[in-house]
Chains A and B, each alone.
Chain A
Amino acid sequence: MWSLSKITDTIQNWLNQTFNPTWALIFEMLIVGVCVISLFAILGLILVLMERKVSAWMQIRLGPNRVGPKGMFQSLADTVKLLVKEGLTPGGADKLLFNLAPFVAMIVAMLLMAPIAFAKDFQMWDLNIGVLYVSAISSVSVIGILMAGWASNNKYSLLGAMRSGAQIVSYELSAGLSALAIVVLTGSLSVSDIIYSQADGWWIFKGHIPAIIAFVTFIIAVTAETNRAPFDLAEAESELTAGFHTEYSGMKFALFFLAEYVNVFIVCAIGATLFLGGWMPFHIGNWQGFNHVMDFIPSSIWFFGKTFFLIFVIMWFRWTFPRLRIDQLLNLEWKYLLPISMINLLLITAMAILKWHF
């Protein structure tokens, strides 16, 4: 069967035969780098278009339909527009930080790509602390936002950045706790171990109600962590015009925009990996026939299908709900999500010890 892991194996074998191991490693790194950057760009294009179409249909509109067939090249045209726009730096801004901030946001998003398993045995870096790595790196993204808000010398930007700081720091807790629930069940922090542990069923089904609660808290917390509506207080266009990126224009603005979408993709990929089995096909216990049929669907399709379903859910949130207020946002985390996920973690731990899960 066609699989991505065979392609990577072939490339690696060829490189190792032709060059000495050091050069082969350098070439592999280069190839991976190019792949990540192109995946970054493609994801940006697809997700922007998807968001615009989803919002349009929910708002009884048609959405982009002029550029290309069914408006498919709309986001490409937008990118060209943003590339030729002038990237202004405001007079009173801190030039270094102002220009650095979008790249910080983007690099963090790129780093997060490393431990994600896109298909069976198709992973950039299968490190043994994958989940920890993700939760550690994702907290760096707030630095990009704070830098942008601070360096812009704009009061709206500063307010947006401060909001975002408070928000990301608090929501990291419940995102981490709900991810921890699965780590407890699996007994491993490695992403590939977590996926292989779901070969006989995804954790959301195997873990009874506590797993579902962990899943829901995870989705809410990552929506907040990626600054998406209804938690988009850092941007809040009706309150702070555009929040931390008020002063950005042209490609620097586009990088923030891109980083947001790639972050959404990454958190959804993590969610799919932890709770929905990553690239693992849908298996039910001992139904050999059914499981066999499911195996015929390539693993990459399973992974991207689950991830895009979660992205759609997050977009659905955005186009339905009003925005929270800053104090309500923090209340939701500290009074509801955190206690719930803590008690939930206790339940899951008890379940894991007593082997109540399937």
Chain B
Amino acid sequence: MYRQTEIIKDSSEVSPGGGDLEEGGGAEFVINVGPQHPATHGVLHLVITLNGETIKKVEPHLGFIHRSIEKMCESLTYRQFIYVTSRMDYLSSHINNHGCALCVEKGLQVEIPPRAQVIRVIMDELTRIASHELWWGAMAMDLGAFTPFFHAFRERETINDIMEETCGARLTMNYMVPGGVMADIHPNFQKRVKDFIILFKSKVDEYDELVTGNVIFRNRMKGVGFLSKEDAISYGCTGPTARGSTASCDIRKLYPYEVYDKVEFEEILETGCDSFARYMVRIRELRQSIKIIEQLIDNIPEGDFQAKTKAVLKLPKGEFYSRVETARGEFGVYIVSEGGATPYRIRFRSPGFSNLSALDHMIRGGKIGDLIAAMGTLDLVIPDIDR
């Protein structure tokens, strides 16, 4: 340790947040994980304090991809601001857009045609599958297994093709508009989704064979990143992160929107409270999403895909809040309107931010490898944390 300190003190390039050994402790070692690090999937910066390999403290530093989306939205009209939210949680952009559209519709008091409702739900669930697929591959990659990443992308690509055909884009679709959806579904849509369901059902079992059952994987996951139910609630965790700790928080069940109260699906709860439980929640959610799509794909009602709305949308004076369940947890939209064509104030409640805040608590005392595993199961999307 001696030489190392001396060298660092001599050179002028001491990196911020790391470098000197702390006085007194003697055995502390500060490392910057990120902002350029393969496991942070973006520009998250974690300052971790180590004792040997054991983690003593994790300090997330944000702000590397802050674009002040909320402020931007204040200068955009109610039709325009929806597209910006695709750039937050880009893996579940449909669901973000959905949440914003719901909030505007709440203010406008418009009734959404049933066809649009069903299309929206199908799109949401397809997005959720695509997002979980990417998470699965990326998390296995974090743990050192590269092959699952490519296998996950194979199925995700199929969803992207379906999206491309109907919405015209693969990642940031901007398909939801206040009052319904932008365009009717493509004539091929139903057939292709059904083909995808058949394909996907056989592939999900492969996932279990390749990763879930693997003894190395199980040992890396079990008992790692323990987060009790109370802690999950007090940190404000939502989505699979909280459901892995038996905290029931599925917005689709608790505050159903669109047709979620008419379809049959279960809210996945796992009792493990560790990384493996969070992993299992997501893997089981894949099957639930397929179940929802199966129920709806043949029952898309006829009718309009968009409600009639005025050319310029103006929300009445007041405050509006709506929430949806994204692939990562609860996404909330809060709009304050002064009666104009643009929102007076807007705020998004993104799931990743609260989930990340629990990281320090769940990882203390673990190893560096545990940090990567736990971070993988939180499914962080950095632009969502740092808007």
Residues on A lying within 8 angstroms of B by beta carbon are 55, 58-61, 91-92, 94, 150, 153, 155-156, 158-159, 163, 229-230, 232, 236-241, 319-328
Contacts and interface: CB of A to CB of B under 8 A. Distances in A.
B192 interface: no
A16 to B, nearest CB: 53
B220 A92 contact: no
Interface in B217-241: 217, 219-220
24 contacts: A59-B150, A61-B150, A92-B8, A153-B4, A153-B8, A158-B4, A232-B144, A238-B38, A238-B142, A238-B372, A239-B39, A239-B371, A241-B37, A319-B146, A320-B147, A322-B143, A322-B145, A322-B214, A322-B216, A322-B220, A324-B219, A324-B220, A325-B219, A325-B367
Contacts of B146: 55, 59, 319
A284 B144 CA distance: 41
B150 A238 contact: no
A327 B216 contact: no
B336 interface: no
B53 A159 contact: yes
Nearest to B140: A322
A238 B13 contact: no
Given A150-B3, A238-B39, 4 more contacts: A155-B18, A159-B53, A239-B372, A325-B220
B10 interface: yes
A91 B13 contact: yes
B211 A322 contact: yes
Contacts of A153: 4, 7-8, 11
Nearest to A56: B150
Interface string B124-137: 00000000000000
A323 B219 contact: no
Contacts of A232: 144
Given A60-B151, A91-B11, A236-B144, A326 B38 contact: no
Contacts of A163: 53
A32 B167 CA distance: 66
B40 to A, nearest CB: 10
Contact of B368 (A58, A60, A240, A321): A240
A163 B150 CA distance: 29
A52 to B, nearest CB: 12
A156 to B, nearest CB: 7
B31 A156 contact: yes
Contact of A239 (B4, B7, B10, B368): B368
Interface string B142-172: 1111110111001000000000000000000
Contact of A58 (B4, B11, B147): B147
A291 B61 CA distance: 69
Nearest to B31: A155
B216 A230 contact: yes
Closest A-B pairs by Cβ, 8 of them = A323-B144, A322-B143, A325-B369, A59-B150, A92-B11, A322-B145, A92-B7, A238-B39
Contacts of B13: 91-92
B145 A321 contact: yes
Contacts of A320: 145, 147, 210
Interface string B88-118: 0000000000000000000000000000000
Contacts, number: 98
Given A92-B13, A238-B39, A328-B219, A323 B143 contact: yes
Nearest to A55: B146
A159 B146 CA distance: 23
A91 B13 CA distance: 9
Contact of A229 (B10, B144, B210, B370): B144
Nearest to A60: B150
Interface residues of B, number: 39
A238 B11 contact: no
B39 A155 contact: no
The listed residue with most B CB atoms (<10 A of its CB), out of A61, A158, A237, is: A237
A106 B224 CA distance: 38
B78 interface: no
Contact of A324 (B18, B149, B150, B216): B216
A205 B211 CA distance: 33
Contacts of A94: 3, 7
A327 B38 CA distance: 22
B280 interface: no
B56 to A, nearest CB: 15
B357 to A, nearest CB: 22
A66 to B, nearest CB: 19
B292 interface: no
B216 A241 contact: no
Contacts of B144: 229-230, 232, 236, 238, 321-323
B141 interface: yes
The winner among B31, B369, B371 for most chain A CB atoms within 10 A is B369
A236 B219 CA distance: 17
B38 A319 contact: no
B214 A321 contact: yes
Contacts of B217: 322
Nearest to B9: A92
Contacts of B369: 236, 239, 323, 325-326
Contacts of B7: 92, 94, 153
A239 to B, nearest CB: 5
Contacts of A59: 146-147, 149-151
B29 interface: yes
A238 B368 contact: no
Nearest to A236: B144
Nearest to B40: A238
Contacts of B367: 325-327
Contact of B154 (A60, A150, A328): A60
A153 B29 CA distance: 13
A110 B31 CA distance: 36
A324 B37 CA distance: 19
A153 B143 CA distance: 26
Nearest to B19: A155
Nearest to A242: B38
Nearest to B8: A92
A93 to B, nearest CB: 8
Contacts of A322: 140, 143-145, 211, 214, 216-217, 220
